[in-house]
A and B are shown apart, each in its own frame.
Chain A
Amino acid sequence: MSNEIILMLHPTFGVLAIIASVWVFVETLNAREVNVGRIRNVGVLAAVLMWLAYIVGGYWYVVFYGADKAIINAGPWPFAHSFFMETKEHVFLMLLLLTTFLAIAVQGEVAKVKAARDLVLWVSGLVVLMGLAMEGAGAFISMGVKVALLAKPV
């Protein structure tokens, strides 16, 4: 039970980080002196949530994923591991750094300098797109386990 909760916390923190990044994007489109504090706080929140997704997901991956990997590789969707998991685990490291960079970028003069504002828009947009890609890859991995278990003779 606790293993499953750990596994569910990973995409939960990921989705919350995506939502926070969407929030940063929308606030930045309307960046003014009155909301720049909120942009900075939510940018940092996005990074904290992504780090939580990394730590929880990483713990589960290192400690528990081996059993699922064996199931996936024995099933009809081995690419759920060989492509989706392998790609996800390494692209996630970039996403982690990109979200950390977002927390740094929002500390700039977002309300006054167009270049700082454009940078935050691009970085938060990339975090959202990459985050959604990670969620999608996670769905393929889960389905890889499911179809492997369904294909097992009863």
Chain B
Amino acid sequence: MVTIQTADDATESAGATATAFGISYAITSILSALLVIWKESSESVHNALTAITGHHWVTHGVLDVIIFVVLGLVLSRMGGGIRMTGNGLIATVVGATIISGLIIAGYFL
């Protein structure tokens, strides 16, 4: 027998781990988009990123992955978990994706 939870769908959560990593994704994607502008606008930042791994894009990717994983783990282990509704989390993830994409595409347009 399938049980679908229907009690107050608007306030239910998608789960503590999903919420933590969803927020982490949103923050990381915005930071990543801002790093694009920063490194493309500043030769010293670009060179610093290149110096770390040999290529600015590789360093950028490694930083993104580290921030996403560490932030997700920290948020998921906070006492009681992050309180956010499923709809709020979806809006955060989708909104961050659209804003980050527009920042990046807009910069190179």
Query: Which A residues fall within an 8 A CB radius of B?
Result: 32-33, 54, 58, 61-62, 82-83, 86-87, 89-91, 93-94, 96-98, 100-101, 104-105, 107-109, 111-116, 118-119, 122-123, 126, 130
Query: Which B residues fall within an 8 A CB radius of A?
Result: 2-6, 9, 12-15, 17-18, 21-22, 25, 28-29, 32-33, 36, 54-55, 57-58, 60-61, 64-65, 68, 72, 85-87, 89-90, 93-94, 97, 100-101, 104-105, 108-109
A94 and B15 within 8 A (CB): no
Query: Using Cβ atoms and an 8 Å threshold, which residues of chain A touch B2?
Result: 32-33, 111
A105 and B22 within 8 A (CB): yes
Query: Using Cβ atoms and an 8 Å threshold, which residues of chain B touch A87?
Result: 104-105, 108
Q: How far is the CB of B41 from chain A (nearest CB, A)?
A: 13
* Count, A-B residue pairs, CB within 8 A: 122
Query: Using Cβ atoms and an 8 Å threshold, which residues of chain A touch B90?
Result: 118-119, 122
Q: How far is the CB of A26 from chain B (nearest CB, A)?
A: 17
6 contacts between A and B (CB under 8 A): A98-B25, A101-B93, A104-B18, A119-B14, A119-B86, A119-B89
Q: Given A101-B25, A115-B85, decide whether A89 and B109 contact each other with a Cβ distance below 8 A.
A: no
A62 and B57 within 8 A (CB): yes
Query: Using Cβ atoms and an 8 Å threshold, which residues of chain A touch B87?
Result: 115, 118
Query: Using Cβ atoms and an 8 Å threshold, which residues of chain B touch A98?
Result: 25, 29, 93, 97
Query: Using Cβ atoms and an 8 Å threshold, which residues of chain B touch A100?
Result: 68
Q: Which one of B21, B28, B61, B86 lies within 8 Å of A58 (CB-CB)? A: B61
Give the nearest-CB partner of B96 in chain A.
A94
> Chain A interface secondary structure, helix, strand, loop or mixed?
helix
Q: Which one of A86, A108, A122 lies within 8 Å of B15 (CB-CB)? A: A108
Question: Which residue, A90, A126, A130, has most C-beta atoms of chain B within 10 A?
Answer: A90
CA distance A5 to B76 in the complex (A): 40
Query: Using Cβ atoms and an 8 Å threshold, which residues of chain B touch A107?
Result: 17-18
Q: Given A82-B108, A93-B61, A118-B86, decide whether A108 and B18 contact each other with a Cβ distance below 8 A.
A: yes
Shortest 6 CB-CB contacts between residues of A and residues of B: A115-B86, A108-B15, A119-B14, A115-B14, A86-B108, A115-B12
CA distance A112 to B94 in the complex (A): 23
A108 and B14 within 8 A (CB): yes
Q: How far is the CB of A100 from chain B (nearest CB, A)?
A: 7
